[in-house]
Amino acid sequence: MAVKELLAGLPWWVKWVAIPLIAVLVFGGLITSAVMMLVGLLFKVLVFVALVGGLIYVVRKFTSSSSSSSSRDDW
């Protein structure tokens, strides 16, 4: 017996309201933890990109200023 045959005789509100609500109640914690893990990972990636970008900016700024003058007494 396929799922379509099983759901064929049920009213629309059971298919589109009751079953999704039961799924959210049963798997809600799993869904929430997965979403929070993805948000945390995205935040860590953004922090990493910002730190690497800042490091590249600082290194380029100091290497360009030290290469323009022959002495390193600018520091």
The whole-number pLDDT of residue 1 equals 72
Q: Is the dihedral of CA 25, 28, 30, 31 positive or negative?
A: positive
Question: What distances in angstroms separate CA 52 from CA 3, 5, 44, 57, 59, one per listed residue?
Answer: 51, 56, 12, 9, 10
- Give 16-43 pLDDT, tens digit per residue: 999 999 999 999 999 999 999 999 999 9
Q: Residue with structure tokens 């800042």?
A: 54
pTM of the model: 0.59
